[in-house]
Amino acid sequence: MSVNDHSLKIDNNRAELLRGLRDGIPIGLGYFAVAFSLGITAKGIGLSPITCFVTSVLCHASAGEYAVYSMIGAGATYVEMALMVLIANARYLLMSCAMSQRMHKDLSFFHRLFMGFGITDELFGIAIARPGYLNPNYMYGGMLISIPLWALGSATGCYSGGVLPENLVSALSVALFGMFLAIIIPPIKDDKKIGLIIAFCFAASFAFAKISAFSDISGGTKTIILTVVISAAAAALFPRKEKE
């Protein structure tokens, strides 16, 4: 590699890192608001702000973290908590498989490991929307701003305890839905088929929640089933050719 090529590579990595930081700001702000309510839940079972912060750094997923707090409050064993978190966060296994298809074959194991650690619904959404092979620095930029704000929000909520009114805390979770809309609307504008698939996802998810035959299935399991079935059907009906 020549000096010029090396300089261009450094500049590109720096640009991708800054772009990831920029795109991670609204995600991080939304995470702070959602994690705040989780922190209040943790305060209710006697956890400290430091414990909340560390937990959120290691498990930056709202469903998984809420499951942990609920089981701690119920006096569950470590094995039971581990199994519950595995089930609640199993969808990230699917996201990791999808992301691995967008990584260059020469990408090192440690890059793959750290990128996999940083997968959340929103970070996956912005990363997978990037064209071409995924640059690890873009993912790291998003992680550097969003994960600390998630952990800080959890610790702040735990510290605040029951100071804020319950209806105000509940309203903070609306920010998460705003982030999802920001992720899905731009691709819909470019491809109407994506909009059709997303609309079907909403309808199927609503049906699964209302049909009594599926009432005994956990929310995480329902999400996995719908993800596998709908994505497989979409791939079969609307296949996309590989681009060089």
Taking 50 as the threshold, does the pLDDT of residue 178 lie above it? yes
pLDDT band at 137, cuts 50/70/90? very high
CA pair distance 141, 59, nearest whole angstrom:
18
Q: What percent of the chain has pLDDT over 90?
A: 22
Rounded mean pLDDT of the chain?
82
Q: What is the pLDDT of residue 177?
A: 66
- Distant-in-sequence, close-in-space partners of 128: CB < 8 Å, separation ≥ 6: 98, 99, 102, 134
pLDDT band at 151, cuts 50/70/90? very high
Q: What sign has the CA pseudo-torsion 140, 146, 151, 152?
A: positive
Q: Where are the chain's structural domains?
A: 3-172, 191-244
Q: What is the pLDDT of residue 139?
A: 93
Whether 124 contacts 95, CB under 8 Å: yes
pLDDT digits (tens, 9 = 90+) for 55-92: 999 888 877 888 788 788 878 788 878 877 887 788 88
Say how many Å lie between the first and final Cα of the chain, rounded: 22
The DSSP line for 172-224 is: HTHHHHHHHHHHHHHHHHH-HHHHHHHHHHHHHHHHHHH-GGGTTS-HHHHHH
> Which tokens hold the place of 75?
């006096």
pLDDT digits (tens, 9 = 90+) for 10-29: 668 889 999 999 999 989 98
